[in-house]
Amino acid sequence: MQTKKLIEEYFNKREGFAISIKALDSLIGNGDDFYSETKDDDRIFICECIDCLKPITPQLNKIKNNLNKYKIIGIKIYLGYQPIFANDKKLFEVYDFAKKQGLSVVFHCGVGAENLKSEKNINYASCVPVGEIAKLYPETNFIVSHFDYPHLDDCLNVILNNKNVFTDISGEYENFNNLDYSILMKDFITKLNNAMSKYDKSQIAQKVMFGTDYFGIGSGFEAVEEYIETAKILFGEQNLENILFNNVLKAYPALQKYLFLDNYVDKDYE
């Protein structure tokens, strides 16, 4: 029931829709319960995941069978949590599948939760190879999770030089030390503002999405409003609808067939 409780907690704070990203069974172990706990909620869309340490073809076949049943709009690859780079040839099968099915591919990038072993494999979690893959698959959208923190310059380079790559601000407020969120916000906002000072912030605002994160106690899932405030401070109130909604529609084009919003995105905005 963990997923259902999280859904209730989230929608007590925000209205609308949400994308829920499935974790590897080796990390959380929710498996098929994830489907059963989300399938009847019209507000939830699913981003599946691939276990890169297991045969990939059977996993893709399962995703294909579940695509419309569970409103799957993307596939996540846990770089760093598993020792694989985004440009590993093994993953090309996933990218071919995503291209054919119109799905987006999401990568865990940057530092993982403090209490998880991904810290040892952070080199795998670089977004730089994502930029290489994006050029090979220009019709497929790719998402660099967590702004590839702390490698903010790498992330900005990749999203601004590849029309089909986006990022999000999720996972920035892991709070295992129970700090005041204002401290965490000030630190991240200062660092990102410094990195963005070299670029056109209005262009960056078209490639960034809102996000939270959940990986257990201390992971900052309760900081929904703090993430919203972060987006406002960084990009201004005038860009908030883009970060909360419009950019998400662009990054995950499969969403539109479920939301019946094929004509929603302003062509002048692209």
Longest dimension (CA), the chain: 46
**Could you report the per-residue pLDDT of 208-234, keeping only the tens digit for each?**
999 988 765 556 677 889 999 999 999
Q: Do 127 and 150 touch, CB atoms closer than 8 A?
A: no
Domain assignment present for residue 110? The answer is yes
Domain that includes residue 254, residue range: 2-262
Q: Residue 58 falls within a domain, yes or no? A: yes
Within a domain: residue 268? no
Q: Is residue 267 part of a domain?
A: no
Rounded-to-integer distance, Cα 105 and Cα 252, Å: 9
Q: How many domains does the chain have?
A: 1
Would 269 be classed as within a structural domain? no
What residue type is 233 in one-letter code? I
Residue 38 maps to a domain:
yes
pLDDT in tens, 52-110: 999 999 999 999 999 988 999 999 999 999 999 999 999 999 999 999 999 999 999 99
What's the mean pLDDT when you consider all of the chain?
Answer: 88
- The model's pLDDT over 143-179, given as tens digits with 9 standing for 90+, comes to 999 999 999 999 999 999 999 999 999 988 877 777 8
pTM of the model: 0.91
Distance CA 83, CA 92 (A): 16
Residue 104 phi, psi dihedral angles, 5° rounding: -95, 155
Q: Looking at per-residue confidence, does 98 or 121 come out higher?
A: 98
Q: Does 149 reside within a domain?
A: yes
**CATH code of the domain covering residue 252:** 3.20.20.140
pLDDT at 113 (0 to 100):
60
In this structure, is residue 22 part of a structural domain? yes
